[in-house]
C-alpha cells in the first residue's frame, strides 16, 4: 500500500515538473516572439469571443489595483487630469452619436425638469455675471424642485422668480437662494423685471 502511494506521489511530482517546464518554455517563446504571440492572441480571441470575455472579466476582478494604476498613468500622460479626460471623451462621444445624445438630453429633461430649470437659471445668471461662489446650489435646486411639485400637485404652472431681477431697470439682484421665490406663472410674467422698493410699494413710486 505504501509503495503504491509512493508511486502515485512520484507520478504527480513528475507531472507537475512537466507542467512547470512547459510554462517556462511558453514564457520564453512569448518573450522571444512578441509579434507572433500578439497575432496568436488576436486570432484566438476572434475565434473564442465568449471565452475571451470571461477571461477578461476574471482577470479584471483579480487585478483591480493594477487597472486603476494603469488608468491613472494613462489619463495623466494623455489628458493631464480626469476632468479633462471626461470632458474630451464626452465631447468625442457627442460628436460621434448626435442622435443618441439628443435622445439622452430629451429623456433627462423629462425626468429632471426642476434640475434643468435650475441649471438654465444659473447659466443665464452667469451670462449676466450675477452668480456668486457662496450661493447654496443644493438649496437652489430644492426651490426649483418645490416649484415643480407645486405645479404637479395643483395643476397650475409655478415658476421660480428672482425677487430682485438679475437685469432690473434700477437695481439687479444675484442668483442666490435668498433672492428666489415661487410664484404662479401668470404672476411671474406680469412682474417681469420690475422690482419695487418698500417706499415705491407704499407711495406708488413717488
Mean pLDDT, residues 22-36: 85
For residue 205, pLDDT beyond 50: no
3-state secondary structure the chain: CHHHHHHHHHHHHHHHHHHHHHHHHHHHHHHHCHHHHHHHHHHHHHHCHHHHHHHHHHHHHHCHHHHHHHHHHHHHHHCCCHHHHHHHHHHHHHHHCHHHHHHHHHHHHHHCHHHHHHHHHHHHHHHCCCCCCCCCHHHHHHHHHHHHHHHHHHCCCEEEEECCCCCCCCCCCCCCHHHEEEEEHHHHHHHCCCCCCHHHHHHCCC
pLDDT score for 6? 53
The predicted model scores a pTM of 0.40
For residue 2, pLDDT beyond 60: no
CA–CA gap between residue 206 and residue 203 (Å, rounded): 6
Per the model's pLDDT, the better-predicted residue between 104 and 3 turns out to be 104
Side-chain-side CA neighbours of 163 within 13 Å: the count stands at 9
143-153 pLDDT, tens digit per residue, is 989 988 998 89
Q: Which of 10-19, 96-105, 175-184, 191-200 is the least confident region? A: 191-200
Scan for cell 494613462, then name that residue: 74
Q: Helix crossing, 98-111 with 113-127: angle to 10°?
A: 110
For residue 5, pLDDT beyond 60: no
For residue 109, give Cα distances in angstroms to 11, 83, 129, 152: 69, 24, 25, 16
For residue 137, pLDDT beyond 80: yes
Average pLDDT of the chain? 80
All three cell numbers of 186, joined, read 401668470
Kindly indicate the confidence band of residue 206, based on its pLDDT and cuts at 50, 70 and 90.
very low
Kindly indicate the confidence band of residue 199, based on its pLDDT and cuts at 50, 70 and 90.
very low
CA–CA gap between residue 135 and residue 177 (Å, rounded): 7
How many other CB atoms are there within 10 angstroms of residue 95's CB atom? 9
Given a contact cutoff of 8 angstroms between Cβ atoms, the answer to whether 147 and 159 are in contact is yes
CA–CA gap between residue 117 and residue 125 (Å, rounded): 12
Amino acid at each position: 500500500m505504501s509503495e503504491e502511494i509512493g508511486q502515485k506521489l512520484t507520478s504527480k511530482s513528475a507531472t507537475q515538473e512537466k507542467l512547470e517546464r512547459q510554462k517556462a518554455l511558453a514564457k520564453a517563446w512569448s518573450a522571444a516572439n512578441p509579434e507572433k504571440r500578439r497575432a496568436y492572441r488576436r486570432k484566438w480571441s476572434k475565434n473564442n469571443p465568449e471565452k475571451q470575455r470571461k477571461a477578461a472579466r476574471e482577470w479584471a476582478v483579480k487585478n483591480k489595483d493594477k487597472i486603476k494604476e494603469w488608468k491613472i498613468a494613462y489619463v495623466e500622460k494623455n489628458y493631464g487630469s480626469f476632468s479633462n479626460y471626461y470632458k474630451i471623451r464626452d465631447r468625442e462621444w457627442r460628436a460621434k452619436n448626435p442622435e443618441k445624445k439628443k435622445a439622452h438630453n430629451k429623456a433627462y429633461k423629462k425626468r429632471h425638469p426642476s434640475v434643468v430649470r435650475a441649471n438654465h437659471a444659473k447659466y443665464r445668471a452667469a451670462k449676466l455675471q450675477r452668480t456668486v461662489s457662496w450661493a447654496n446650489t443644493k438649496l437652489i435646486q430644492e426651490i426649483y424642485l418645490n416649484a415643480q411639485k407645486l405645479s404637479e400637485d395643483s395643476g397650475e404652472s409655478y415658476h421660480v422668480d428672482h425677487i430682485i431681477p438679475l437685469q432690473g431697470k434700477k437695481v439687479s439682484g444675484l442668483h442666490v437662494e435668498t433672492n428666489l421665490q415661487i410664484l404662479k406663472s401668470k404672476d411671474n410674467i406680469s412682474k417681469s423685471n420690475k422690482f419695487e422698493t418698500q417706499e415705491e410699494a407704499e407711495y406708488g413710486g413717488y
